[in-house]
Amino acid sequence: MTKGPIVYLTRKEVISACHRLHSPHLTDSENVEIYGKCNNFWGHGHNYTVEVTVKGPMNLETGMVMNIAELKTYVKNVLMDQLDHKNLDKDVPYFENVVSTTENVAIFIFQELRKLIPNPDLLYEVKIYETDKNIVIYRGE
């Protein structure tokens, strides 16, 4: 493979999920104080926009960093199969003892993608738009 310039490739998906911000390490009153309305006992939902970016040298023979069809499959496996239309706290074992903040959702997605991508070093960034105004970025740091 002849390596070319470094290129960033991003796949974007929208998922719907609900959660409740509640830490088992805090009292009920501390949870209410810290998380406010997001600590509602019944939870609340979001339409998260998630962008997954890989970064690496372009293969000059194929003109690609990674086949976009493969990236689409990895993203589907994590986002659509594991998180979409789920209650994060009840349906995703990772969040049994981890508060389902958007920060932790980004970390979860990043870790799960690293397990799937044949060259995990290509995974550069997970960016989540929780709302139009709240955005979280995680790069594995």
**Taking 90 as the threshold, does the pLDDT of residue 1 lie above it?**
no
Active site residue 44: no
- For residue 3, the model assigns a pLDDT of 87
- Name residues whose C-beta falls within 8 Å of residue 77's C-beta, 6 or more positions apart in sequence: 112, 116
**Domain segments of the chain as ranges:** 3-17+45-138
Dihedral angle of Cα 19, 21, 25, 26, to the nearest 10 degrees: -140
Homologous superfamily (CATH) of 3-17+45-138 is 6-pyruvoyl tetrahydropterin synthase/QueD (3.30.479.10)
Nearest to 82 by CA among 56, 107, 103, 112: 112
Active site residue 33: no
Active site residue 38: yes
Q: How far apart are CA 114 and CA 129, in angstroms?
A: 21
- For residue 2, the model assigns a pLDDT of 80
Write the pLDDT tens digit of every residue in 57-110: 999 999 999 999 999 999 999 999 999 999 999 999 999 999 999 999 999 999
For β-strands 86-87 and 135-138, DSSP reports them as unpaired
Which single residue is written with the structure tokens 């070319």?
4
Nearest to 75 by CA among 1, 14, 28: 14
- For residue 74, the model assigns a pLDDT of 98
Catalytic residue among 13, 38, 70, 103: 38
Write the pLDDT tens digit of every residue in 14-67: 999 999 999 999 999 999 999 999 999 999 999 999 999 999 999 999 999 999
Rg (CA), the chain: 17
Catalytic residue among 30, 33, 44, 85: 85
Tokens standing for 40? 């509602």
